Amino acid sequence: MRELSDVTSAPPGEREVRNVLGFRQFRRLWIALTLSSLGDWLGFLATTTLATELADGYSAGLYAIASVIAVRLAPALVIGPFAGAWGDRFNRRYTMVVADVLRFAFYASIPLVRELWWLLVASFLIESLSLFWIPAKEASVPNLVPRSHLESANRISLITTYGSAAVASTLFALIAEISHVLGNAFPHFRSNPVDLALYFDAVTFLVSAATVLTLTSISSPRPPDDGTTERITTWHSIVEGWQFIGSTRWLRGLVVGILGAVAAGAVAIGLAPRFVLDLHAGNAGYGVLFATIFIGLASGMFAGPRLFRGISRRRVMGLCISAAGLSLSLDAVMPNLLLAMVFTFFMGAFAGVVWVLGITLVGLEVSDDKRARTFAFIYTMMRLMLLAVVVAAPFVAGAIGQHSTLVGETRIRLDGVTVTMFTAGIIAIVVGRICLSMMDDRPDVPLRADLLAAMRGRDPVQGRGAGGLFVAFEGGEGVGKSTQARLLAERLKARGYDVLLTFEPGATPIGARLRELLLDPANAAMSARTEALLYAADRAQHVAEVIRPALGRGAIVITDRYVDSSLAYQGGGRELDDHDIRRLSRWATGGLMPDLTVVLDLEATAGLGRTTGPGDRLEAEELAFHERVRTSFRELARRGGERRYLLLDVGALDIEQVHSRILDRVESELPDMPAASPQLTMPLARVEP
């Protein structure tokens, strides 16, 4: 499966997007889709604006807007399943043509009747007809293009559907200005400035109907082999979706995040007609602001994933929801249209990132047998949220009413629209934080480190995940690290914990070969830099092959030597630059650090006296080298602090006393660690001195 970055970096499939319009029948359907989508968005702008004009007063205008939006969303929850079944049973071409002709008639009738009750009735019927048109169109596309071009055809259809919103907004603003000019010659347009937009909208559907009528390749659908047609109700979709999503924490966080982004956008859309009036921008300003939302949305969808490429998708979801909320709150207090457009754009852009990443995460991480139901649940909940918020926001704003206060010589707006938008933004910020806590797959990596790595173009810091406990034993030669690591592992294993005991260098097949090179006395001529690089190579493989997988399953990992050994031996002993060693180790491990590092301290001469057998390349070094190593270990423990380090003078304690102190310290880290059943524990890895 392709990653999101594959899509945004123009893969070969993009050539199909450019070529798919070469298929004559699909090109005509795309023209019809363009006109239909343009009409839908233009109709939304015109009807919400007309609702404000037909209502009397500040609060009544807001209630009218909420009512129009409500009747446009309600059919999706009531008629949606039936309309989908209709498209699988009856002639799709005739369905689309009839739906377009009737939508033409209803839009044309709105300015003629010019009553709020008919505006609501017509809006409900128009949206109901759209629900029949859309599934008929979607089901017809596979008959108009080859199978190899189907993905490209669907992609260009999606871009057209959402991209036409910006075009419709610009067109609405232009028509508003034209109506103003025509009002000088025709009194009707002076008193009814929205009528021209409604008439133009009606014509788009009539042209769409004529275009679809020529598509002879669209006909009655083929009946299924078993003669049945599956019908899935909205309630069934909600129940099954919730049962699956309720069992997965990150997926619950994703739903919360998407709904939070939808709610923020819904508040902005629902209050925009009144908001532009408060800014003294008029109908043209409404069109411009509406266009800005969707331009931002499209910008976020296309550019956002690239900008946040170095950060976990799950983290970006929460961050962008909070950023969208902050943008909405700042938007609410802007004093003019120009500044409002800036923050409206950012709000849309962050919402676009949330949408595209949310859909990508579901596609990548939800199994195929549950993916469709997950999408169905998300879309249904989005419609419910959109309906609830766009209806509630104007009513809440209307209940607050129109107020302001004077601070010095500056008048501060405290009207319902400003307060509602500002509060909604604060709520979105909180929702983003909740989403981040539920979805965070890198809780051990500071968010600041992720952001800095992304801004500097560096590889992301790799954490160890939320599970497991990581303990490292460090110290010079002969201090008893291997013995104490083994005793601790045996004690924890006896208690039923999943324990992995490992070591450096040489715990992996690749590491074993590197160990031979590093410790062979015959390689005395090896340079200090080569030695540091080989130790880093061993550690990189050790982390990738042994440590991370164990921590990922929640095990306790105990390692004999880790990063501090490189800092002490190559940094202190070989006197290489400490900063270079740290950077190399950080890169090799992806930033993975132990939860606790136990440093066993002993005089260098005493430690070397404890070693047995033929000495390796490091043991054969002069005493001054080992003294520098010991000093480095002590300094690392001192600078690291007592929270992350346990420094023990093993020269003054026997083996059992050292083990007891180590166990006491490790036990303080264990309460949050789930003990595994004995049959699930992993065998102890062999530890070499």
In sequence order, what DSSP letters do the residues of 250-268 get, joined into one string? HHHHHHHHHHHHHHHHHHH
> If you ran DSSP here, which 8-state letter would residue 508 be given?
S
CA dist., res. 639 & res. 631, Å (int): 12
Which residue type is seen at 684?
A: L
Does residue 686 belong to any structural domain of this protein?
Answer: no
369-420 pLDDT, tens per residue? 565 456 556 666 776 787 778 778 877 877 887 776 766 666 666 777 888 8
For the chain, give me the number of helices (H) and strands (E)? Answer: 27, 7
- Of 134-138, 166-170, 299-303, 631-635, highest mean pLDDT: 631-635
Does residue 334 belong to any structural domain of this protein?
Answer: yes
What pLDDT score does 12 carry? 39
158-202 pLDDT, tens per residue? 566 666 666 776 776 676 667 666 655 655 555 455 677 777 778
Whether residues 326 and 357 fall in one domain: yes
Ramachandran quadrant class, 309 (left: phi over 0; alpha: psi -120 to 50; beta: rest)? alpha
639 burial type by CB count under 10 A (0-12 exposed, 13-18 middle, 19+ buried)? exposed
* Residue entry with tokens 């102190």: 661
Q: Bigger pLDDT: 330 or 192?
A: 330
Mean pLDDT of the 53-64 span: 64
Whether residues 54 and 194 fall in one domain: yes
Rg of the Cα atoms in the chain: 33
Whether residues 514 and 647 fall in one domain: yes
Strands 499-503 and 404-407: unpaired
Whether residues 174 and 312 fall in one domain: no
What pLDDT score does 582 carry? 87
Contact 570, 576 (CB under 8 A): yes
Does residue 243 belong to any structural domain of this protein?
Answer: no
Contact 582, 532 (CB under 8 A): no
What pLDDT score does 537 carry? 94
Strands 469-475 and 499-503: unpaired
Q: Bigger pLDDT: 523 or 689?
A: 523
Whether residues 342 and 412 fall in one domain: yes
Q: Bigger pLDDT: 275 or 680?
A: 275
Whether residues 153 and 256 fall in one domain: no
Whether residues 219 and 320 fall in one domain: no
Contact 367, 348 (CB under 8 A): no
What pLDDT score does 187 carry? 56
Residue ending a domain, among 461, 490, 517, is 461
CA dist., res. 170 & res. 292, Å (int): 9
Give the Cα-Cα-Cα angle 289, 47, 328 (nearest 5 degrees): 30
Give the tokens for residue 312.
């976990």
Residue ending a domain, among 461, 488, 513, is 461
Q: Is 310 helix (H, G, I), strand (E, B) or coil?
A: coil
Q: What are phi and psi of 14, to 5 degrees?
A: -65, -30
Whether residues 212 and 304 fall in one domain: no
Ramachandran quadrant class, 599 (left: phi over 0; alpha: psi -120 to 50; beta: rest)? beta
Does residue 688 belong to any structural domain of this protein?
Answer: no
Whether residues 253 and 184 fall in one domain: no
In the predicted model, what is the mean pLDDT of the chain?
75
What pLDDT score does 229 carry? 44
Residue ending a domain, among 196, 231, 266, is 231
- Residue 248: CB atoms within 10 Å: 15
Does residue 198 belong to any structural domain of this protein?
Answer: yes
Does residue 399 belong to any structural domain of this protein?
Answer: yes
Whether residues 483 and 447 fall in one domain: no
Residue 340's pLDDT band, with cuts at 50, 70 and 90, is confident
- Residue 126: CB atoms within 10 Å: 27
Q: pTM score, two decimals? A: 0.50
Query: Residue 673's domain is classified under what CATH number?
Result: 3.40.50.300
Residue 142's pLDDT band, with cuts at 50, 70 and 90, is low
Does residue 242 belong to any structural domain of this protein?
Answer: no
What's the structural domain count of the chain? 3
Whether residues 401 and 489 fall in one domain: no
Strands 404-407 and 410-413: antiparallel
Q: Is the previous residue joined to 505 through a cis bond, with omega within 30 degrees of 0? A: yes
475-524 pLDDT, tens per residue? 998 899 999 999 999 999 988 888 999 999 999 999 999 999 988 888 88
Q: Which domain holds residue 84?
A: 1-231
Whether residues 213 and 105 fall in one domain: yes
Which residue type is seen at 130?
A: S
617-632 pLDDT, tens per residue? 888 888 999 999 999 9
Cα-based torsion angle of the residue sequence 287, 288, 289, 291 in order, rounded to the nearest 10 degrees: 80
What pLDDT score does 545 carry? 92
Residue 266's pLDDT band, with cuts at 50, 70 and 90, is confident
Does residue 685 belong to any structural domain of this protein?
Answer: no
Query: Residue 367's domain is classified under what CATH number?
Result: 1.20.1250.20
Cα-based torsion angle of the residue sequence 114, 119, 121, 122 in order, rounded to the nearest 10 degrees: 90
Residue 364 makes CB contacts below 8 A (sequence gap 6+) with 1, 3
Q: What are phi and psi of 42, to 5 degrees?
A: -65, -40
